[in-house]
Amino acid sequence: MAWNHRYTQPRPTQERLYVERVPVPDTTCPSCGSSDIARYPVANHFGPRMATKCQKCLHILAMDRPTDEDNWPPFRSVTYDWKASPGERAARDALLRELAAIDR
């Protein structure tokens, strides 16, 4: 997949958009014993994630960071997977030290 594939998606032709819940075979829910397990994209307070959940009791079996093949989120920054620069890390560490000093 080219780096720009998320920027050139065509206009949807369907009247309604929906998320496809892909069945996960040979897996059993540890909470209720159901074999109705599906993997699909979600957006929660951690950001975009791929959820693997029991469809009967909604027990979460896995909550993974999306891979490039998952195509989720549909638009993402080119720098999405880059590590923070040393300057950003230093500023973040300084902020955490400042906040820790306030808590004392």
Binding site for Zn ion (CB under 5 A): 29, 31-32, 34, 54, 56-57, 59
* Minimum CB–partner distance for residue 62 and Zn ion (Å): 13
* Minimum CB–partner distance for residue 36 and Zn ion (Å): 8
CA dihedral 34, 35, 38, 43 (to 10 degrees): 30
Pick 9 or 31: Cβ nearer Zn ion: 31
* Minimum CB–partner distance for residue 88 and Zn ion (Å): 40
Distance CA 92, CA 98 (A): 10
**Which residues, at least 6 apart from 51, have a Cβ–Cβ distance to it below 8 Å?**
39, 40, 41, 42, 60, 62, 63
3-state secondary structure of 2: coil
Pick 6 or 56: Cβ nearer Zn ion: 56
- 10 Å CB burial of residue 34 (0-12, 13-18, 19+) is middle
* Minimum CB–partner distance for residue 9 and Zn ion (Å): 34
Pick 33 or 47: Cβ nearer Zn ion: 33
Pick 6 or 59: Cβ nearer Zn ion: 59
